[in-house]
Amino acid sequence: MTDSMNPVATGIWNKLKADATLMSALTGTLTNGYKCFHIIAPQGTTFPYITFGQITNVPIGTFKNLTAIEDESWWFNVFSDVGSKDAGDILDALTDVLDDTTLTVTGYTNLVCSREYVGGIRYTPETGTYQIPSRYKIWIDKN
Amino acid sequence: MAHIAGRAGQVDAAAEVTGIRNWTLTYSVDTVETTDFADSGVATYLPTVSRWSGSFDGLKDGVPLTLGTSATPITIKLYESQTASQFWTGDCFITSCDPSTSFDGAVTYAYNFQGTGSLTVAAA
């Protein structure tokens, strides 16, 4: 874990829960955690929801500062039990929020938040759920 | 023989240049060919004048350096480490500045310099 992981996770969560379109698609409210969860959804959470987490953190260093910029990769998963279209609609809302946005990250300045890819939709018969993975590159500059 | 990690390097071009990630110095001597019939087909040379030049680059961190368009050179120090005297130094002119930006990267600056006069070699 890096120093920046929790502040970035909080910045992502704040950004997602502040978007009315995404919250409408997820039926997110304060009481259900806005249906956006770091790493894993709590047991009993109803679909749809989003999970996200850090994959890698690679510092970009200089002579003066070995961690001048933190180059991070974050994964996102959209889950829906309605159908592939519903999962796709939530993904659209998610990418509308995150593509080229500026996150508010305590202690850092967000330089980049850009989508690296969206993966293929995956259906899990045992749970009847549709999952769409995606990955973002996030650069932050320590204040 | 002690090895040195490069991560504590530094470049001063009159003042410290922040954001720098690499520097390279070429310290060389010119030669003149002195091959004659007596050398039996094997080339021979003699050293003449020495010269030095180099480059450094890194992330943009403030305004770029000014090119050396006046006749007054600046003092450059190329640190291998933060150990005293473990740097190369001499007077030089900044001969080029190459800013670079890509949509998925950071803004970087690269500089070339031409040394003028003698070069003080780094300590062991």
Per the CB < 8 Å rule, is A63 touching B61? no
CB pairs under 8 A between A and B: 35
Is residue B1 pLDDT above 70, yes or no? no
On whether any CB of chain B is under 8 Å from the CB of A117, the answer is: no
Q: Select from A133, A139, A14, A7 the least CA-distant residue to A72.
A: A139
Question: Least CB-CB distance to B18: which of A64, A69, A137?
Answer: A64
Per the CB < 8 Å rule, is A63 touching B11? yes
Residue-range domains of chain B with CATH: 6-35+43-120 (2.40.30)
Report the amino acid identity of residue A91: L
Tell me, what's the ipTM?
0.85
**CA gap A39, A96 in Å, rounded:** 21
Mean pLDDT of chain A: 96
Q: What is the pTM of this model?
A: 0.85
Q: Quick one: pLDDT band at residue B81, thresholds 50, 70, 90? A: very high
Per the CB < 8 Å rule, is A62 touching B21? yes
Is residue A1 pLDDT above 60, yes or no? no
pLDDT of residue A30: 96
On whether any CB of chain B is under 8 Å from the CB of A141, the answer is: no
Residue-range domains of chain A with CATH: 5-142 (3.30.2000.30)
What size, in residues, is chain B?
A: 124
Q: Quick one: pLDDT band at residue A2, thresholds 50, 70, 90? A: low
Q: Which residues are within 8 A (CB) of B69 and not within 5 positions of it... i.e. 6 or more apart?
A: none
Q: Which residues are within 8 A (CB) of B32 and not within 5 positions of it... i.e. 6 or more apart?
A: B45, B46, B48
- A5-17 vs A84-98: helix crossing angle, rounded to 10: 110
